[in-house]
Amino acid sequence: MNTMQNYVGRDSHANTNQNSGQNTQEELPQVSVEGRNLERTTLLSLRKWAVDTLAYAEKGKFLAAFEKRGVRRSLTAYIELLDSHVYRTRIGEGIFTISIEEANESIADHLQYQAEINKEMSWFELAPYPLPDHIQAKPNDWRDRKSFRAFHDKMSPMIQKGDTLSCVIVDQADYKKGSVVVVSFRQHKDRTRKYSFGRVKKVDANSITLGFDHPDCKYDYITIPLQMVLFVLKVESAQAPSKPVK
């Protein structure tokens, strides 16, 4: 595998409006979260959507889990992202726009993805991380489960050159070296959303470096800015699938 690194910069054509209350002419798509269509045509409405999403989550049964996993911090960071710049990177090819729409879709898709996984796998707490203790202790058992095969198909790291990295799902308190996290990205060919495993290799004041040891992943590692760490959810601290499940 070829070692590579992402580069993040500003695109003069991207929306870098720092005034969250100022209207933009660009029509942003709607995203449905639990049946709620939230129109976001300005940065201000994007901020409102983030606040509403957090409030909605806190009213449900996931309050303790959301608080534990730092989703409050994530949405706060997301609002700060809207107030500052649109960060962008393209795997293998330097700069590429990660738009506000991409960030929104990533959040909404992930909430939907969590619900799907919860429905399929009752022994998952909120999302597929962390695994129950008895499952973690016997990795071969849960890897061979039929339900995990379906889960792994969705999560298998197939990051290719040109794919758009949307955000990293990682715990603010736990993204230390060795932690396993989830990366959300969009495939270059058909624009489909994918999730993959990554292991934290290095964290500094401004960036996080993730390594990939899956045989289908073409890159050893990628380095991204911490501003792209939007969600705060940890997989496991010690183990991730290293081979596709047959």
Helix, strand or coil for residue 209? strand
The mean per-residue pLDDT over the stretch 209-219 comes to 55
Q: Residues of the chain with pLDDT > 70: what percent?
A: 2
Q: What is the pLDDT of residues 25-57, one digit of tens each?
A: 333 333 333 333 333 333 444 555 566 666 655
| Angle ∠(189,192,197) on CA atoms, nearest 5 | 105
The mean per-residue pLDDT over the stretch 228-233 comes to 41
DSSP letters of 34-70? Answer: TTEEE---BHHHHHHHHHHHHHHHHHSTTHHHHHHTT
pLDDT of residue 204 exceeding 70, the answer is yes
DSSP letters of 130-168? Answer: SPPHHHHT-HHHHHTSHHHHHHHHHH-----TTPEEEEE
Q: Which range, of 4-18, 178-192, 230-244, averages the lowest pLDDT?
A: 4-18
DSSP structure class, residue 113: H
Which residue would you say has higher pLDDT here, 184 or 19?
A: 184
Q: What is the pLDDT of residues 114-127, one digit of tens each?
A: 444 444 433 323 23
Q: How confident is the model at residue 218 (pLDDT cuts 50, 70, 90)?
A: very low
Domain holding 164, by residue range, is 31-231
What was the pLDDT predicted at 200?
72
Which residue would you say has higher pLDDT here, 14 or 242?
A: 242
Q: Residues of the chain with pLDDT > 90: what percent?
A: 0
Q: What is the pLDDT of residues 162-197, one digit of tens each?
A: 555 554 544 444 456 666 555 655 555 665 555 555
Q: How confident is the model at residue 212 (pLDDT cuts 50, 70, 90)?
A: low
Total domains present in the chain: 1
In a domain, 102, yes or no: yes
Residue 86, C-beta contacts closer than 8 angstroms, at least 6 positions apart: 11, 14, 15, 16, 97, 98, 99, 100
In a domain, 23, yes or no: no
**pTM higher than 0.75 for the full model?**
no
* Interatomic CA distance for residues 213 and 197, integer angstroms: 9
pLDDT of residue 209 exceeding 70, the answer is yes
In a domain, 192, yes or no: yes
In a domain, 245, yes or no: no
pLDDT of residue 103 exceeding 60, the answer is no
Place of tokens 């303790």: 64
pLDDT of residue 205 exceeding 60, the answer is yes
In a domain, 178, yes or no: yes
pLDDT of residue 201 exceeding 50, the answer is yes
